[in-house]
C-alpha cells in the first residue's frame, strides 16, 4: 500500500503548479504476469546477512543517538509509540488538516522504524516557513550510530537499508568509522531542494574498502541542515560475493525531461504497445551495478531483439566495455533499432557480463517486451496490478486519470480512448474520455481541452481483477487530428468520482508522465503507477476493442496445468522469455488442457493463431507447484 501526502499548490485556469504525488492510496491486490517490475528486473541480488536491525523493539540501547540542538534527535515510530508507525513527519509543512505525513514503506514498518524530523523540531506549529519557531531550531546535526561491529571474518562487506526522505537544504549521509577513528562518508543521499524519495526507497552500498576485515566498525546516519525528514529501517550489514554484477535497470527508451534536445520533455518514453503508423526508434541501455567485492574488468551490456514466433534475430549489439570498481554503477548503451512494422510481440533480451565468472549469473539478465498493433497506443503493462483510490477529501467528486502520449508522426487521428476500471467500480457508473494538449515546463502545467468522447456506462464485464485486461472503449463523435511533435494528456473522466469509479493501473511510470486531475479546482497530481488508459488511432476499425480473438487462458499464474479455451480452431505455440519454443500443437474450438508440470517456472508467451491467420499473444506466468 502506498500513501502519498501533498502540499498546497497554486492554481489558475488552464495552468497549474504541481510537484507532488497524487494524494490517496494505490492498492496492490495481487501479482499479475503483466507487471512491469517482473520484466524490469528478473532477479534480486542474493544476501548473506552478517548483522541487522529492524527496530522491532524500539531504538536499541547500544545505538548512539545525538542531536544538536540536544533535543533534536532521532525518534522511534512503533505499534505502541506516540506517534505510532502509521505516522511520518509531524512538522508544520504538511497539507492543511493533516496531523502526520506518510510513513516509510519498508519491509518491517509494522514493527517500527526511526525518523529524524527536522521540520517538526524546528517548527511544529506553523505556518510552514516559520523557521526557528519550534522547540529546537534548525540547522540540525543529528547522528544515529550503530554499536561496534566485528567484521574481521568478512573481506567483502556491504550495507543495505530502507529509507524515505524529503530535503530542503540538508545533507543526509552514511559514514563509517574504524576503531574509533574519523568517520568517512560512504554515501550522500542525492536529493534536490523540495525533492523526496519513494517511500520504499532502498540503498545498497559497498563498504568493503573501509570495513572489510575490520574488528571494530561503527556506521552512522548523519543529518545536517534544514528540513524536512529522513526515515530509516531494515539496516543490514551483508557479506558480499567476490563477483556480482547486477542488471538493475533495462530500458528501450531515452526519456529525460532535462535533455535540452527533447523539446516537450516527453520524447522517447517507453510504450508497451505502438501503433503501426508510429513505429518507434528504440534506444537500448541498462544500469549495471557491481555489488561484489572485486573490480569487474571489461564489463559490457549486450542486447538482442526477436519477434515471438519468428526464428531470426532482428537486432544484436554489445556496448563499449568498461571497468567497474566495487560499489560502482553505470548506465551502458547498446545502440538503437528502428522497429519493423509487422504486427506482433517482440522480446528484448538484455545481458551483462565481464571477464570474471559471476557468482550470481541469474541477476545478469532482463527481458522486456513490446507490441506492434494496427491502431493501439498504450503505456500500461496491460494486466491490472494495482488500483488508485483518491484521498478521502477528494472522493465523490469528479476526477480524471490517464497518461501522456507524444505524437511522433504526421497525419495521425484519434478515434477513441480506452480505459480499464477495477473491481469495486459500481456498474452503471459513467465514464468518458478527454483529450488535452499538454505541456509541463518549469513545474507549470498547461492543459488545453481539445476533445471529449461519448459517455459510456460501466457494465459487469468491464471490471478488472488482478491480471485482467478488460478495456472500455469511449469513441469520439468525430475523429480528432493530432499534431506531430505535440504531447497529449489522454484521460478517463469519472463524473461520480471515486469510489464509484476506480482506476485500474499496470506498471510503473516515470514522474510527471501519468496524472490524476480534479477539475473542480483544476489540480493535477502525478502518479507512480500507470493508469490503464490508451489511445486508439483511426484506421477504420479502432472504435472497437482490439481483441481479434476470443481466447481465455487460465489459471494464470499456473503450476501444473494450463487451460487454453478458444472459440475457433487453430494452432498454438508456447515460447520462453528468450524466444525459445517450448510447446506447440493444434486444437479445435473449445477448451484444451496443457500439461506444464515439466516446464521451468518463469515468464512465457502463448501464441494462438486461427486458420485465417489472425493471432493473439498472451503472457503466462508459470510457477513451481508448492
**Over the stretch 286-298, which tens digit does the pLDDT of each residue have?**
999 998 999 999 9
Q: Pull the grid cell for residue 519.
A: 477539475
Cα–Cα distance for residue pair 507/254, rounded to 1 Å: 18
At 611 the pLDDT is: 67
Contact by Cβ (8 Å): 247, 347:
no
Cα–Cα distance for residue pair 161/173, rounded to 1 Å: 13
Partners of 420 in the β-ladder: none
Range(s) for CATH 2.60.120.200 in the chain?
A: 47-234
Contact by Cβ (8 Å): 413, 538:
yes
Going by C-alpha positions, the residue among 173, 334, 356, 189 that lies closest to residue 254 is 334
Whether the pLDDT of residue 6 is over 80: the answer is no
Contact by Cβ (8 Å): 552, 428:
no
Q: Which residue has the higher pLDDT, 17 or 603?
A: 603
Q: For all residues of the chain together, what is the average pLDDT?
A: 87
The domain made up of 245-377 is a member of CATH 3.40.50.2000: no
- Indicate the fold that domain 14-34+381-537 takes in CATH: Jelly Rolls (2.60.120)
SS3 277: helix
Architecture of the domain defined by 551-622: Sandwich (2.60)
Cα–Cα distance for residue pair 320/318, rounded to 1 Å: 7
Range(s) for CATH 2.60.40.3080 in the chain?
A: 551-622
Q: Kindly give, in sequence order, each residue whose CB lies less than 8 Å from that of residue 99, ignoring residues fewer than 6 positions away.
A: 87, 90
In a 13 Å sphere around the CA of 275, the CA atoms on its Cβ side amount to 23
SS3 120: helix
Q: What is the pLDDT of residues 510-528, one digit of tens each?
A: 889 999 999 998 999 988 8
Q: What is the pLDDT of residues 82-137, one digit of tens each?
A: 999 999 999 998 877 788 999 999 999 999 999 999 999 999 888 888 899 999 99
pTM for this model (two decimals): 0.75
Cα–Cα distance for residue pair 400/419, rounded to 1 Å: 11
Partners of 416 in the β-ladder: 475, 536
Q: From the options 2.60.120.200, 2.60.40.1260, 3.10.20.440, 3.40.50.300, give the CATH code of 47-234.
A: 2.60.120.200
Q: What is the pLDDT of residues 528-558, one digit of tens each?
A: 899 999 999 985 444 444 444 567 888 888 8
Q: What is the pLDDT of residues 176-213, one digit of tens each?
A: 999 999 999 999 999 999 899 989 899 989 999 899 99
**Banded pLDDT at 9 (limits 50, 70, 90):** very low
Range(s) for CATH 2.60.40.10 in the chain?
A: 245-377
Going by C-alpha positions, the residue among 276, 279, 299, 274 that lies closest to residue 289 is 299
Amino acid at each position: 500500500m502506498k500513501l502519498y501526502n501533498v502540499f498546497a499548490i497554486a492554481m489558475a485556469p488552464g495552468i497549474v503548479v504541481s510537484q507532488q504525488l497524487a494524494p490517496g492510496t494505490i492498492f496492490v491486490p495481487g501479482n499479475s504476469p503483466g507487471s512491469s517490475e517482473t520484466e524490469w528486473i528478473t532477479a534480486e541480488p542474493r544476501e548473506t546477512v552478517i548483522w541487522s536491525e529492524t527496530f522491532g523493539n524500539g531504538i536499541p540501547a547500544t545505538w548512539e543517538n545525538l542531536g544538536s540542538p540536544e533535543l533534536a534527535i532521532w525518534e522511534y515510530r512503533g505499534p505502541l509509540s506516540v506517534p505510532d508507525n502509521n505516522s511520518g513527519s509531524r512538522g508544520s509543512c504538511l497539507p492543511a488538516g493533516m496531523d502526520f505525513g506518510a510513513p516509510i514503506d519498508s519491509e518491517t514498518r509494522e514493527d517500527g522504524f526511526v525518523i529524524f524530523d527536522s521540520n517538526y523540531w524546528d517548527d511544529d506549529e506553523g505556518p510552514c516557513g516559520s523557521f526557528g519557531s519550534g522547540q529546537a531550531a534548525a540547522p540540525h546535526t543529528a547522528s544515529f550510530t550503530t554499536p561496534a561491529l566485528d567484521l574481521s571474518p568478512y573481506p567483502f562487506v556491504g550495507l543495505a537499508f530502507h529509507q524515505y526522505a524529503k530535503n530542503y537544504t540538508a545533507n543526509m549521509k552514511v559514514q563509517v568509522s574504524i576503531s574509533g577513528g574519523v568517520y568517512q562518508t560512504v554515501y550522500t543521499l542525492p536529493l534536490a531542494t523540495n525533492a523526496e524519495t519513494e517511500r520504499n526507497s532502498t540503498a545498497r552500498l559497498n563498504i568493503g574498502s573501509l570495513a572489510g576485515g575490520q574488528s571494530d566498525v561503527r556506521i552512522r546516519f548523519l543529518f545536517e541542515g534544514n528540513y524536512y525528514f529522513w526515515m530509516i529501517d531494515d539496516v543490514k550489514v551483508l557479506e558480499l560475493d567476490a563477483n556480482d554484477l547486477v542488471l538493475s535497470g533495462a530500458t528501450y527508451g531515452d526519456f529525460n525531461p532535462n535533455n535540452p534536445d527533447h523539446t516537450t520533455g516527453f520524447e522517447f518514453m517507453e510504450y508497451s504497445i505502438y501503433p503501426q503508423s508510429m513505429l518507434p526508434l528504440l534506444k537500448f541501455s541498462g544500469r549495471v551495478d557491481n555489488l561484489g567485492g572485486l573490480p569487474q574488468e571489461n564489463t559490457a551490456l549486450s542486447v538482442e531483439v526477436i519477434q515471438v514466433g519468428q526464428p531470426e534475430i532482428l537486432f544484436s549489439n554489445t556496448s563499449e566495455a568498461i571497468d567497474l570498481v566495487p560499489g560502482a554503477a553505470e548506465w551502458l548503451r547498446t545502440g538503437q533499432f528502428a522497429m519493423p512494422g509487422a504486427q506482433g510481440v517482440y522480446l528484448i533480451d538484455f545481458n551483462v557480463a565481464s571477464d570474471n565468472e559471476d557468482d550470481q549469473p541469474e541477476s545478469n539478465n532482463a527481458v522486456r517486451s513490446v507490441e506492434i498493433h494496427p491502431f493501439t497506443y498504450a503505456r500500461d503493462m496491460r494486466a491490472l496490478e494495482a488500483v488508485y483510490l483518491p484521498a478521502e477529501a477528494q472522493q465523490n467528486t469528479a476526477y480524471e486519470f490517464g497518461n501522456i502520449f507524444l505524437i511522433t508522426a504526421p497525419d495521425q487521428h484519434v478515434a477513441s480512448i480506452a480505459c480499464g476500471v477495477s473491481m469495486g467500480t459500481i456498474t452503471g457508473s459513467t465514464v468518458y474520455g478527454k483529450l488535452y494538449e499538454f505541456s509541463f515546463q518549469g513545474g507549470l502545467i498547461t492543459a488545453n481541452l481539445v476533445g471529449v468522447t461519448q459517455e459510456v456506462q460501466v457494465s459487469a464485464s468491464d471490471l478488472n481483477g488482478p491480471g485482467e485486461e478488460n478495456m472500455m472503449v469511449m469513441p469520439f463523435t468525430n475523429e480528432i487530428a493530432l499534431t506531430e511533435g505535440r504531447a497529449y494528456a489522454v484521460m478517463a473522466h469519472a463524473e461520480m468520482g471515486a469510489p464509484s469509479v476506480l482506476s485500474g493501473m499496470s506498471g510503473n511510470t516515470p514522474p510527471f508522465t501519468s496524472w490524476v486531475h480534479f477539475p473542480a479546482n483544476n489540480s493535477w497530481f502525478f502518479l507512480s503507477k500507470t493508469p490503464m488508459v490508451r489511445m486508439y488511432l483511426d484506421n477504420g476499425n479502432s472504435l472497437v476493442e482490439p481483441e481479434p480473438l476470443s481466447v481465455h487462458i487460465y489459471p494464470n499464474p499456473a503450476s501444473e496445468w494450463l487451460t487454453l479455451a478458444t472459440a475457433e480452431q487453430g494452432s498454438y505455440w508456447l515460447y520462453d522469455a528468450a524466444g525459445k519454443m517450448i510447446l506447440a500443437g493444434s486444437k479445435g474450438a473449445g477448451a484444451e488442457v496443457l500439461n506444464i508440470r515439466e516446464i521451468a517456472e518463469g515468464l512465457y508467451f502463448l501464441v494462438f493463431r486461427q486458420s485465417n491467420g489472425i493471432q493473439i499473444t498472451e503472457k503466462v506466468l508459470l510457477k513451481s507447484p508448492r
